Amino acid sequence: MSGMGGATPRDHVRDHGGDLAEAVARHGGVPGDWIDLSTGINRVPWPLPAIPAQAWQGLPGRALFDAALSAARAGYGTDAPGVALAGAQAAIQLVPRLRAPGRVRLRHAGYNEYAPAFADAGWRVERIGAGDDLGGADAAVLTNPNNPDGAAMARDEVLRLAGRVGLLLVDESFADVRPDLSVASEAGKVPGLIVLRSFGKFFGLAGLRLGFAFGMAEDMARLGALAGPWAASGPALAVGAAALADADWQARSRARLTEEAARLDALARAAGWQAAGGCDLFRLYETGDAPAARDRLAGHRIWSRAFPYSPGWLRLGLPGDAGEWARLEAALAPGAGGA
């Protein structure tokens, strides 16, 4: 282990991207002035269809949940028992309550909702370094690919890890752009393995609040009971079922995101930044001075993500339309300062 073992109060601070109120408070303007690249949410979303009136007016019934789960199983390549929830975040809050508290290991650099969720449920949280072993604890959390550095574990390694912990929670929120990593097909077969999928990031519709968990039948039954009878909204379920069935849009989006991630890397290199990781939904750069780099972009009303544990890391999502790309290119052009 790296010596990061015991969690401190700072480890449990909930710090996120996507808060344009902070951008406005610090740098001015109104939210509509800003391009929010502080998250890994696709800024070219799946085109919303007309949503049936019943999805808005009635409580979501079993048929809506079943249709969304069926589409999710097909889209994610699994036949495991599952639960539809109000985003992967809802599962993060509940999964720690599926087992008696013990020790849970998770990466120091990663999504920072896991530590407080497990700690609140009475678990002892051990934060470890990137090269350290997640195995040997009562539970482990693996985000694959990881946020924010994009570090990835091959699926065979993930499955070996599952045999070395009592509960392995695999967060595949960014795996839509790395389907080769997914172990969703093994959920429901490997005891203790729970796989989370986020709908909103890749499909660019995070406001719908939709996600899925897959695992053994007894775990999914318990998770569903904890979540309650209407764990996702009718409109979210209806949209999710349609979008997850749109294989053509998904293939086009993956190809575009791969090209545009390379484009963003080229702009960052020209600005003097070094690639530090990421995936095709977000890129991570070593800037040498993240607060200064963030302020530089903020001068052009572009919001980015810095991290309290790294003085130089800055994460950027990919811009959407041509106008957003032009603004980012101007902000990153050699010699460009704040607007």
How far is it, in rounded angstroms, from Cα 84 to Cα 234?
11
Looking at every residue in the chain, the average pLDDT score rounds to 94
Backbone region of residue 281 per phi and psi (left: phi > 0; alpha: psi in -120 to 50; beta: other values): alpha
Q: What is the mean pLDDT of residues 2-17?
A: 49
Confidence (pLDDT) at 163:
94
> Is cis: bond before 81, omega within 30 of 0?
no
Q: Does an H or E element contain 106, and which?
A: strand 103-107
| Per-position DSSP letters for 271-327, written without gaps between them | TT-EEEEEETTEEEEE-S-HHHHHHHHHTTTEE-EEETTEEEEEEEEPP-SHHHHHH
pLDDT in tens, 201-229: 999 999 999 999 999 999 999 999 999 99
The token pair at 139 is: 């539970």
The answer to whether the CB of 72 falls within 8 A of the CB of 212 is: yes
Q: What angle do CA 311, 145, 118 make, to 5 degrees?
A: 80
pLDDT in tens, 62-113: 999 999 999 999 999 999 999 999 999 999 999 999 999 999 999 988 898 9
Is residue 2 pLDDT above 70, yes or no?
no
| Whether pLDDT at 11 is above 60 | no
The domains of the chain, with CATH numbers, are: 9-44+248-332 (3.90.1150.10), 53-246 (3.40.640.10)
Q: Please state the pTM of the whole predicted model.
A: 0.93
- State how far the Cα of 280 lies from the Cα of 42, in Å rounded to an integer: 10
Instruction: Please check whether residue 217 is in contact with residue 98, taking contact to mean a CB–CB distance below 8 angstroms.
Output: no
Cβ-based neighbours of 5, under 8 Å, separated by 6 or more: 126, 127, 128
**Neighbouring-strand partners of residue 211:** 85, 198
Q: Which amino acid is at 70?
A: S
Measured between alpha carbons, how far is 61 from 66 in angstroms, rounded to an integer? 9
- Among 148, 197, 199, 174, which Cα is nearest to 304's? 148
